[in-house]
Amino acid sequence: MVDTYHALDKLDKLLLQFDIPAGQVKGNLLRLALIDISCSATENNEKLEFLGDAALRLAAAEFLMEHYPEMPLGEMSAIRSHVVSDRILATIAKHYHLGDYLQLSKSAQGDKAGTDSRLADTLEAVLGALYLSAGNLSLIRPWLDTHLERLTNELKTDPAKQNYKAALQELTQLHCKALPTYKVVEISQVHGDEERFLAQVWFQNKSWGQGKGRSRKMAEQAAAQVAFDDLRQALSQPVAPPPTAPPTAPPTAPPTAPPTTKPTATEAYQ
């Protein structure tokens, strides 16, 4: 049987890492956020993870809008895609030692390859619990902004890390439920050449941009950056309704002949 006192004490210690007083968070939600689906098919953190993913994206968007209002939308989208990636979330989760609090089945404990993915999911579930407890981002932004600021500064000083491919993928999936494709060719045989590879972005049978880079990945990122703004503008244009045919006059009935009457017997012999 679980020792409730020590269980709550452990959760209080977790909240202290976020500088959140224990009384501001609903304990049942936080406990649920720390139960992996491998432990229970009915009581687990999947739904909180779903909500936390949305809360995380909103918090990142608010942060960028408040601190970098002049930043182009394409750069904002690329930075947000980077900071909400599983790799970054797992790093933040490790910073708070979430793995020490997560309940896993024995089989999941042995799955070392899935550790980072589970930690990222758990952090999102914790965000979901915090959001539901407050009804807003007030329990999230104060500690998350520190990480967002550090990550954004790193990306601004090293644009190669910005994930324009992910931002473009989100854009096309949102509007068309489809993904762009890339065609990459090697145009230089010189190792280390900054323009060794040329990449083109194709979407719906049309090329939307091209870019060059010293690696295939960097060339694709450069092409995605070019394509993002053009595609965003194109996809945001309202679709013109099909032309309507001019109204037609209602059909007229054919003229009717006057009624005929049969002659009377008297008239017939006159």
Q: Which residues are catalytic?
A: 53, 124
Show Cβ contacts of residue 122 under 8 Å, excluding neighbours closer than 6 positions.
33, 34, 36, 45, 49, 93, 98, 102
Residue 220 host element (H or E): helix 216-236
Residue 248, Cβ density class (10 Å: 0-12 exposed, 13-18 middle, ≥19 buried): exposed
Residue 216, Cβ density class (10 Å: 0-12 exposed, 13-18 middle, ≥19 buried): middle
CA–CA distance, 95 with 130 (Å, rounded to integer): 18
Instruction: Match 């590879």 to its residue by tokens.
Output: 197
What are the phi and psi torsion angles at 13 (to 5°)? -65, -35
CA 216 to each of CA 36, 188, 222: distance values in angstroms, whole numbers, following the listed order: 37, 12, 10
What are the phi and psi torsion angles at 90 (to 5°)? -65, -40
CA–CA distance, 44 with 31 (Å, rounded to integer): 9
Residue 2 host element (H or E): none
Sheet with 181-186, side-by-side order of all strands = 181-186, 197-203, 206-213
Residue type at 216 in one-letter notation:
R
Asked if 213 and 219 count as a contact pair (C-beta separation under 8 A), the reply is yes
Vertex 117, ends 114 and 120: CA angle to 5°? Answer: 150
